[in-house]
């Protein structure tokens, strides 16, 4: 959800206080209290840090830290709050990937909380008459809904590393949903973009289009159904979403989407069953890891392609001194490394429970070197580029058949958190498209995902095996790339991530190289104008690069560009040399982000 800085101070204050024993309901004057301070994209201090796109959500995470919670507790509470204030980007109807650094053991661990296809799904899931159904039809349907992974992710993270109960961590979000937050222009505009879809589903229309109208800027948006749902999850645990009453409501909604009788839209049903929900499990798995400039970079392993693609691109760039390159030279190398990584991603990445994914080979320096030699300083690689073979890393090989990059929805959200003990979380969660499937579970207050549309509807190239075709219980390929960087002593340097569909990979890569190679402060590396090349004919540029002289310099050697008004919306945390935490978020994108620390001043005491 894109949020502006217009935020009600009482709502923010309430979010900060909600976890205290004496927390009270928000006053009825909440809608008329003064305008709050502008969002802060960077903050530094002691005791821990949280960065997200939303002020309310970041404030909730900070209060958890103030009351003795750790980074995992703060991340879960922040994510739950984002489910209230960012309902078109995230929520319990979706999934995501959680990367955690444990300060005591100095290790990085991860959770794959990706949604799964029904057990009845096969490669023809999105085919009718042997042909793919229109993408827009799949997006707004029960067909695209996978079993949600977010609630199970919270349980898994808290069971393994948390210190607070889920019930306690849901209380701030429950209160925020009940009492509401102030509507800003971006919330209204995103609702407007989904108005036709929401209007076709009575539960969505009642929630997001009260009285048949768009929410008014400055009004208070309340979601009492979601407040009750959070309260139920707190009392009964997330098992109710996978085996209880809530599971039954999800299955009923997917199998027979509640469409307005007057709607003309064809809304296909899905085949999700109670058995599918009951069988869902998150996956605890080892992270990806590459060494870059003497640092260790950890990411999420498949089913996401984020860790392997960011890692491969970094390995390709390892042999080049980007710190001394001109801006054009740096961007040229970054673009070409991205192109190569996406060429290999398209051929090899899928759910490793179903596909033979050569993760180790993709992350080997030997394979990266065999691909890096394709890059020339005075020429541009042609797209779509053919993939390499990690099992046979022949230098500069150009054989094989290209697999073009398929479309992924770009609306997701990312949060980062750190605590006074040095633990760090990078967590990206999503419901896929802006507004997900547009289908709200009646009386439950949350949208269902359309993540299964991340599968290939048909082989990207009929001549080559596509590892991302649907299958029973299969996880669709993702580009989510939560990343944690450690120094040579296994201590945290920074953590970051971003929304943005397939542009997540290039956003994380550009932010890392901007900070580590080009010397930009983390907040400036996040704010820098972006480019995104995903093995396509043209590279996307934000206006800051489109309108720069560097574009003509790159076009002179063969680059082709298209303009994209906004790419990604990153957040990060960084450990400073003096022991402080720095939180960083966007300055402008999606209305700007919210960076907070527990204590802006003082000493690094416990």
Residues annotated as part of the active site: 412
Residue 362 contacts by C-beta under 8 Å, 6 or more apart in sequence? 308, 311, 312, 344, 348, 390
Contact assessment for residue 75 and residue 417, using Cβ atoms and an 8 Å cutoff: yes
Question: Judging by DSSP bridges, how do beta strands 95-102 and 295-299 pair with one another?
Answer: unpaired
φ/ψ of 291, rounded to 5, equals -100, 135
Q: What angle do CA 421, 426, 432 make, to 5 degrees?
A: 155
Radius of gyration of the chain (CA): 23
Q: What angle do CA 352, 357, 359 make, to 5 degrees?
A: 110
Report how far apart the first and last C-alpha atoms of the chain are (Å, whole number): 35
Asked if the peptide bond before residue 166 counts as cis, ω within 30 degrees of 0, the response is: no
CA–CA separation, 12 and 28 (whole Å) = 15
Contact assessment for residue 562 and residue 545, using Cβ atoms and an 8 Å cutoff: no
Residue of 97, 139, 123 whose CA lies nearest to 467 = 123
Residue of 227, 134, 149 whose CA lies nearest to 453 = 134
DSSP one-letter string for 413-466: EEEEEEETTS-EEEEEEE-SSTTTTS-BPTTT--BPP-GGGGS-SS-SSTTS--
């Amino acid at each position: 959800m894109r949020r502006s800085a217009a935020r009600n101070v009482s709502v923010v204050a309430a979010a900060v206080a909600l976890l205290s024993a004496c927390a009270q309901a928000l006053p009825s004057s909440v809608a008329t209290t003064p305008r709050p301070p502008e969002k802060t994209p960077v903050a530094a201090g002691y005791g821990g840090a949280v960065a997200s796109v939303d002020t309310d959500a970041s404030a909730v995470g900070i209060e958890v830290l103030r009351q003795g919670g750790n980074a995992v507790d703060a991340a879960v509470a922040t994510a739950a709050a984002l489910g209230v204030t960012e309902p078109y980007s995230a929520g319990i109807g979706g999934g995501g990937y959680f990367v955690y650094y444990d300060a005591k053991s100095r290790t990085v661990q991860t959770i794959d909380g990706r949604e799964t296809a029904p057990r009845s799904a096969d490669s023809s899931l999105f085919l009718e008459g042997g042909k793919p159904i229109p993408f827009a039809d799949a997006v707004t349907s029960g067909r695209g809904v996978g079993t949600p992974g977010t609630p199970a992710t919270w349980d898994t993270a808290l069971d393994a590393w948390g210190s607070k109960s889920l019930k306690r961590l849901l209380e701030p979000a429950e209160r925020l949903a009940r009492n509401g937050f102030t509507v800003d222009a971006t919330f209204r505009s995103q609702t407007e973009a989904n108005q036709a879809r929401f209007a076709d589903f009575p539960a969505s229309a009642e929630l997001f289009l009260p009285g048949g109208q768009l929410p008014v800027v400055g009004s208070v948006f309340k979601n009492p159904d979601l407040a009750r749902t959070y309260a139920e999850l707190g009392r009964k645990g997330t098992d109710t979403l996978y085996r209880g009453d809530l599971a039954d409501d999800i299955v009923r909604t997917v199998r027979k989407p509640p469409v307005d009788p007057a709607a003309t839209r064809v809304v296909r049903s899905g085949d999700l069953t109670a058995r599918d929900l009951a069988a869902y499990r998150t996956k605890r798995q080892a992270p990806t890891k590459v060494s870059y400039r003497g640092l260790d970079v950890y990411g999420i392993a498949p089913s996401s392609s984020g860790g392997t693609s960011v890692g491969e691109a970094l390995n390709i760039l390892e042999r080049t001194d980007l710190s001394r390159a001109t801006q054009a030279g740096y961007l040229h190398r970054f673009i070409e490394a991205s192109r190569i990584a996406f060429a290999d991603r398209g051929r090899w990445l899928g759910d490793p429970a179903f596909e033979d994914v050569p993760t180790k080979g993709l992350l080997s320096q030997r394979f990266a070197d065999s691909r890096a030699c394709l890059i020339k300083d005075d020429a541009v690689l042609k797209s779509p580029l053919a993939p390499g073979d990690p099992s046979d890393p022949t230098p500069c090989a150009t054989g094989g058949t290209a697999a073009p990059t398929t479309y992924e929805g770009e609306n997701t959200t990312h949060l980062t958190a750190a605590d006074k003990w040095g633990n760090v979380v990078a967590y990206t969660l999503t419901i896929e498209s802006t507004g997900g499937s547009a289908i709200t579970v009646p009386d439950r207050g949350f949208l269902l995902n359309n993540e299964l549309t991340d599968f290939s509807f048909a082989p990207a190239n009929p001549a080559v095996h596509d590892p991302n075709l649907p299958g029973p219980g299969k996880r669709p390929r993702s580009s989510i790339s939560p990343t944690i960087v450690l120094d040579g002593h296994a201590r945290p340097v920074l953590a970051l991530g971003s929304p943005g569909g397939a542009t997540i990979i290039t956003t994380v890569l550009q932010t890392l190289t901007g900070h580590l190679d080009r010397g930009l402060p983390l907040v400036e590396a996040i704010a820098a104008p972006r480019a995104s090349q995903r093995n396509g004919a043209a590279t996307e540029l934000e206006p800051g690069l489109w309108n720069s002289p560097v574009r003509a310099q790159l076009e002179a050697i063969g680059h082709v560009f298209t303009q994209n008004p906004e790419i990604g919306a990153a957040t990060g945390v960084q450990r400073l040399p003096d022991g402080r935490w720095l939180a960083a978020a966007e300055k402008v994108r999606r209305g700007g982000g919210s960076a907070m620390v527990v204590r802006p001043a003082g000493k690094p005491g416990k």
